[in-house]
A and B are shown apart, each in its own frame.
Chain A
Amino acid sequence: MNISDLTTGERPTWCPGCANFVTLAAIKKALIELHSEGMIDIDKTVIVSDIGCGAKIYDYLNINGFYALHGRVIPTAIGIKVGNPELNVIGFGGDGGTYDEGMSHLVHASRTNPGITMMVANNRVFALTKGQSTSSDSPITNPLSIAAVSGAGFIARGSSTDLDHLSSLMKEAISHKGFSLLEIMQPCIIFRNDGVDIAEKMEMIAKPKEPNFGKNIDRLHTKDGRLPIGIFRKEERPSLEDLMRYDPKG
């Protein structure tokens, strides 16, 4: 499998220079590597998309996909996973959909631990509706810590300013058993063009020895203006679908 297998004939309608091109390239790279490493079967992989700029990825990724509703990626993905636990289910949302419209779904998915991956492109702005502010625009908001106190087993943050690192985080998130949350810091080059700021504040956190990443979670609460990037928590526990009765194998 190569990049062209994962590419549709659709021409992206993102703005020239949009950070979403990086995210698209990073997920293609991650999927190709995971597929060739035998970690996933691409035929049994599904993406679920929100509504908004980042969500347009549905049209550009040639893979099973469900272009769902604003803020409702997580429950849709949970339904797919409970319906067929053999599928790899990867959600793509933004900060507006995941941290505003659908915040309760994030809190409860963190708690119930469905085996899905949620990628949140965070540009701190409602971009497609032309620049209204989202809740994560506020310096007091730290959505990842809300997921952390709610019990999310895998929490990571990457940045569209580092494609290779982002792609490696995507692979880790998708391979994690249970709920995984990967926030992708992105500038919106039209309404919030702070890519340079993100790059300057970025601070790679060390990847400690598995499986205990516990100490990294403290880094989520730094108040020195730095932007920690990396994996904050990676802990496995029984997933929602494990606890449910339906098993397609009988």
Chain B
Amino acid sequence: MRRTVIFAGQAGSGVDKTASIFAEMLAAQGLQVFIYRDYSSLIRGGHNFSTVTFGEGSIRSHDRKADALVVFNKDAIDPHRDSLIKGGLMVTSGDYSEEGAVIASGGNNRYLANNSSLGIIAGYFGLDKEKARRVLAERLGPTMGSAGSAFEAGYDMTDGKYSIRGGKRAIVIMDGSEAVARAAIDMGLKAAFYYPMTPATGVFAKLVKMSDERPISVVRTEDEIAAAMATIGAGFSGVRAMTGSSGGGLALMGEAVSLSGMAEVPLVIYAAQRTGPSTGVPTYTAQGDIKFILSLGPGEFPKFVAMPGDAEESYELTAQAFYFADKYRIPSFILSDKHVAESYFSVLGTLRTTVPKKMTVRVKPVKGYQSYKIDESGFSPMAIPGSGNLARATSYEHDAFGATIEDAEAIKKMTDKRIRKSSSLASETADFSPIVTYGKGSKVIVGAGSVKGAILDALEYLPGWKFVQIRHIEPFPTKAFTGSLKSAKEVVIVESNSTGLLASIIREKTGVDIKKKILKYDGRPFAAEEIVISIGKKR
């Protein structure tokens, strides 16, 4: 059974924190949780809310209807009044209330009122009091003080309508940003360069925090151009490095992406999509940049682009992005979006990757070393400065030693060598599950990235349907994809954009024309219910 609580209030009043502590309480009971965070581009005031959906089974997306609504100010009631189910619980605080609502203690003291609200909700759903209190103590630390008593008093304020009990499996609550940062660290990241832009900043904020205890350099540069160029510089020096941004910031990185392709120096870019062209809607989600990322940077050169659909995949695909970037000496993208970056997912077990963790570079002298050796595979390890080899990289067309050339035959030879890497890369990425199929059935839902959670939860209400998830957009897994559609009676694609960009890429790469599209482009992520209803209508 799925249950949902919406926490709502002004920015700065603790909506996100209270919701995330509640999620950890749920996880401590062995329940799976998903939190959708909705907030505006402002610092204080406005209206923020977090939708916490949880249950005993798999929970990978949020529901729109809520069993309980916790509001931190009066204005937060109206936007969510209709979301509350009949007979659901409303918790208010401060000097306002509604008929039938439970008023949290603490009055206008936000800190006490939030923790009292937490207690009320924990009691209402029948969470184990002691386990929940321990989570609170851990999160609040020595400052807990009276918040602990506010929580306990709140716990007994309702009779407790539910008695939810989870399994024994350890569950960790994590957003996509943290998973990307952890993967980077585990892959041996030594330097990160960034310029803040929502929703990409989360990864770098996390890396800054992590750098307190680890020997890594995180530099906030003067702009995205500098960030991307410095990342290439660090890669050339022989360490793993990354940068990242969103929309317009990524546009500024275009020349660096092309440089990485030409100079064959690794470049890992975390690309987090937001809504709309240009400044768009900074704190809302979309999948409108898929084609933009595929074509980012002038000229022809191989790239790796992966789209994670949750926190675990953010970890796994980030690790892949690092591995392929230096092995093939190419630009490599983790193409995420606000919904994956900033939603909290339940991670079961440990974060895993199957790629080798060591960086592919030449550190020992080789006789007659050539930076751009022309061979069948098209790629060979890059030598780093100080290794006794002459480390040469260039944005100009070049010969095998990296010297500038302009003659026709040499241009063609080097272009062929670069492009040959695409097929070498494609045959290796095929071993890293570029396509994953969930469920069984003769009817297929196709999707990539953040639509994953809602589709998986929708499948439970859609017998006969399976989900084919595309994890690598480039190189596109043509064979695996067409194989997964074999004998499909019906195919529908789900995308968070207005024109069906993924469908267009699929048609280009495979010739398969998916006509039935479920598209959403209002900045809000899909809920499972919407997909179930839309599939019904499409048939």
**Residues from chain B with Cβ under 8 Å of A84 in the complex:** 237-239, 384-386
A184 within 8 Å of B by Cβ?
no
**Residues from chain A with Cβ under 8 Å of B217 in the complex:** 82, 241, 244-246
B40 within 8 Å of A by Cβ?
no
The complex places the Cα of A105 from the Cα of B195 at a distance, in Å, of 13
Contact A79 B233 (CB under 8 A): yes
A193 within 8 Å of B by Cβ?
no
Known: A10-B403, A59-B404, A105-B226. A67 touches B395 (CB 8 A): yes
The complex places the Cα of A81 from the Cα of B237 at a distance, in Å, of 8
Known: A59-B404, A62-B390, A67-B396. A76 touches B222 (CB 8 A): no
The complex places the Cα of A87 from the Cα of B386 at a distance, in Å, of 8
Among B193, B215, B221, B222, residue most surrounded by chain A Cβ atoms (within 10 Å)? B222
Contact B232 A79 (CB under 8 A): yes
Contact B225 A72 (CB under 8 A): yes
Contact A76 B395 (CB under 8 A): no
B236 within 8 Å of A by Cβ?
yes
Which one of B241, B387, B394 contacts A83 once the chains associate, using CB atoms below 8 Å? B241
**Residues from chain B with Cβ under 8 Å of A66 in the complex:** 233, 236, 263, 265, 392-394
B353 within 8 Å of A by Cβ?
no
B171 within 8 Å of A by Cβ?
no
Which one of A45, A67, A74, A250 contacts B394 once the chains associate, using CB atoms below 8 Å? A67
The complex places the Cα of A63 from the Cα of B386 at a distance, in Å, of 11
Q: Which residue of A lies closest to B406 (CB)?
A: A13
Shortest distance between the CB of B87 and any CB in chain A (Å) = 54
The complex places the Cα of A39 from the Cα of B392 at a distance, in Å, of 23
**Residues from chain B with Cβ under 8 Å of A64 in the complex:** 385-386, 390-392
Binary flags per residue of B222-244, CB closer than 8 Å to A gives 1, else 0: 11011101111111111101000
Shortest distance between the CB of B499 and any CB in chain A (Å) = 32
Among B217, B241, B404, residue most surrounded by chain A Cβ atoms (within 10 Å)? B217
B435 within 8 Å of A by Cβ?
no
**Residues from chain A with Cβ under 8 Å of B387 in the complex:** 43
**Residues from chain A with Cβ under 8 Å of B193 in the complex:** 79
**Residues from chain B with Cβ under 8 Å of A79 in the complex:** 191, 193, 229-237, 241
The complex places the Cα of A29 from the Cα of B37 at a distance, in Å, of 61
Contact A83 B404 (CB under 8 A): no
How would you classify the secondary structure of chain B's contact residues: helix, strand, loop or mixed?
mixed
A166 within 8 Å of B by Cβ?
no
B256 within 8 Å of A by Cβ?
yes
Among A8, A83, A104, residue most surrounded by chain B Cβ atoms (within 10 Å)? A83
**Residues from chain A with Cβ under 8 Å of B237 in the complex:** 46, 79-84, 87
Binary flags per residue of A123-138, CB closer than 8 Å to B gives 1, else 0: 0000000000000000
Contact A83 B233 (CB under 8 A): yes
**Number of inter-chain CB pairs below 8 Å:** 152
The complex places the Cα of A127 from the Cα of B256 at a distance, in Å, of 24
B214 within 8 Å of A by Cβ?
yes
Contact A82 B219 (CB under 8 A): yes
**Residues from chain A with Cβ under 8 Å of B393 in the complex:** 65-67
The complex places the Cα of A87 from the Cα of B193 at a distance, in Å, of 19
Contact B388 A83 (CB under 8 A): no
A25 within 8 Å of B by Cβ?
no
Quick one: which of B19-58 are within 8 Å of A by CB? none
**Residues from chain A with Cβ under 8 Å of B190 in the complex:** 83, 246
The complex places the Cα of A109 from the Cα of B392 at a distance, in Å, of 24
Shortest distance between the CB of A182 and any CB in chain B (Å) = 20
Known: A46-B385, A80-B237, A240-B219. A58 touches B230 (CB 8 A): no
B120 within 8 Å of A by Cβ?
no
Quick one: which of A30-45 are within 8 Å of B by CB? 41, 43-45
Which one of A43, A63, A75, A77 contacts B221 once the chains associate, using CB atoms below 8 Å? A75
**Residues from chain B with Cβ under 8 Å of A245 in the complex:** 211, 214-217
For the A-B complex with A51-B395, A65-B392, A84-B237 known, give 14 more contacts whose Cβ atoms are closer than 8 Å: A66-B263, A66-B265, A69-B229, A72-B256, A74-B226, A81-B237, A82-B237, A83-B191, A83-B237, A244-B191, A245-B216, A245-B217, A246-B190, A246-B191
Q: What 10 pairs between A and B have smallest CB-CB spacing?
A: A79-B233, A83-B237, A79-B230, A83-B234, A244-B217, A67-B394, A75-B226, A75-B229, A84-B237, A64-B385
State the B residues within 8 Å of A (CB): 190-191, 193, 211, 214-219, 221-223, 225-227, 229-239, 241, 255-256, 259, 263, 265, 384-388, 390-396, 402-404
State the A residues within 8 Å of B (CB): 8, 10, 41, 43-46, 48, 51, 56, 58-59, 62-69, 72, 74-84, 86-87, 104-105, 107-108, 240-241, 244-247, 250
Ordered by A's residue number, 24 sampled pairs between the chains whose C-beta atoms are within 8 Å are: A43-B388, A58-B394, A63-B390, A66-B265, A66-B394, A72-B255, A72-B256, A76-B229, A76-B232, A79-B191, A79-B230, A79-B233, A80-B237, A82-B191, A82-B217, A82-B234, A83-B190, A83-B233, A83-B234, A87-B385, A108-B221, A244-B191, A244-B219, A246-B239
